[in-house]
Structures are given as structure tokens and as C-alpha cells.
Amino acid sequence: MRRNKKERQQLLIETIKQNPFVTDEELAEKYSVSVQTIRLDRLELSIPELRERIKNVAEKKFSDEIRALPLDEIIGEVIDLNLDDNAISILDIKKEHVFKRNGIARGHHLFAQANSLAVAVMNDELALTAKASISFTRSVKENERVVAKAKVKSVDHTNDRSVVEVRSYVGNELVFKGEFEMYRS
């Protein structure tokens, strides 16, 4: 259903407010317009492009919060963080992340995204992976966006351990799951 410009722009504002990490391509498909129309709408509404929105959110919100490792050492971009509770990061799979012969992402990139997110969610100066149990549930291809969601399942201060569950998705489809036992100082 095509909408007039004013309606579309209002919906665009609401959609980006709900999910600031939605791509121009996803918006164009959702509102049955061209990517160029979405870009012009964003420009007119002073809404920055996706990469800038992600960077701004991460720098403002998380650079002082993450204690266990520097923000620039996290694989993917942190978009939500509640220390010792949960965190979310995104990783856009590009040419350098995939095997040349088939365009499938190398598993170590998905593992690194999940593992570094498990470290980042720890509210400690030192957090190290003691043990990990992981599984890949489907192949990820070039140009797909992986959203990793970490949840702290338990904290054992007596043994300086925490268990973090990480699930990674492309769209609504689970592509990776892992349970990380974290040593914390």
C-alpha cells in the first residue's frame, strides 16, 4: 500500500525510533518505495544513515560502561548493554568475513562476535572465557546482518564465574547459539 510522503515520513520516524538499526533497504521494502526515496526522506528529516546511528549510539552510551575490554576490541557493534544482565551487538557480514568459493561466513567471526559480547556484558575489569559450548544452526552469507543477544544466566561470586547465553540471528532466524562460562576477577 503506497502512502503519501507525510504519512510515510511519520511511519519512517516511528520505525527508526523503535529499531534504530533498520536498513534503508528494509525500510524501502516495508513501505514499497525505492531506497533512494528512503534516503531522501531521512535527509529531509535529518535522520543519519545507519552506520552513523550505530556509531553514535555505541560511542555515547557504552564507551564508559564497558569495563572488561575496550569498545574497539568488540567484534560487531554494541547497540544495547546492561552490565551483568544483557547486551546486543550487530555484525554486517562482508566480503572479508566469508569464504571466497561459496560466500558463507567463516564460523570464527560469529564465535568472535558472541564471545566478545559475553565478555563485554561482564561488570568486571577482567573477564575471560573459561569454557564455551556452541552450535551453528544455519550458514550465514555475505551481506547478511547478524544480531547477537547475550543474556547473563547466572553469577557465582564464590567461584568468580558467570554463565552467559548468546543467541545470534539473521532476521528472526537463529544462526548461532552458545553458552559461555566466564571467569571474572
Report the alpha-carbon distance of residue 31 to residue 2 in Å, rounded. 7
pLDDT digits (tens, 9 = 90+) for 26-44: 999 999 999 999 999 999 9
Mean pLDDT score across all residues of the chain: 89
CATH for 5-47 is 1.10.10.10
pLDDT reported for residue 137: 97
Residue 53, pLDDT > 80, answer no
pLDDT digits (tens, 9 = 90+) for 162-175: 999 999 999 999 99
Report the alpha-carbon distance of residue 103 to residue 141 in Å, rounded. 6
* Residue ranges of the chain that CATH labels 3.10.129.10: 53-184
In terms of pTM, does the model score above 0.75?
A: no
Grid cell of 145 as nine digits:
546482518
Report the alpha-carbon distance of residue 137 to residue 175 in Å, rounded. 5
Report the alpha-carbon distance of residue 12 to residue 133 in Å, rounded. 40
CATH for 53-184 is 3.10.129.10
pLDDT digits (tens, 9 = 90+) for 58-79: 665 555 566 656 666 789 988 8
Report the alpha-carbon distance of residue 92 to residue 76 in Å, rounded. 8
DSSP the chain: ----HHHHHHHHHHHHHH-TT--HHHHHHHHTS-HHHHHHHHHHTTPPPHHHHHHHHHHHHHTTT--SS-GGGSSSEEEEEETTTEEEEEEE--GGGB-TTT-BBPHHHHHHHHHHHHHHT--SS-EEEEEEEEEE-S--BTT-EEEEEEEEEEEETTTTEEEEEEEEEETTEEEEEEEEEEEE-
Full strand arrangement of the beta sheet holding 86-92: 77-82, 86-92, 145-156, 161-170, 173-184, 127-136
pLDDT reported for residue 162: 95
* Residue ranges of the chain that CATH labels 1.10.10.10: 5-47
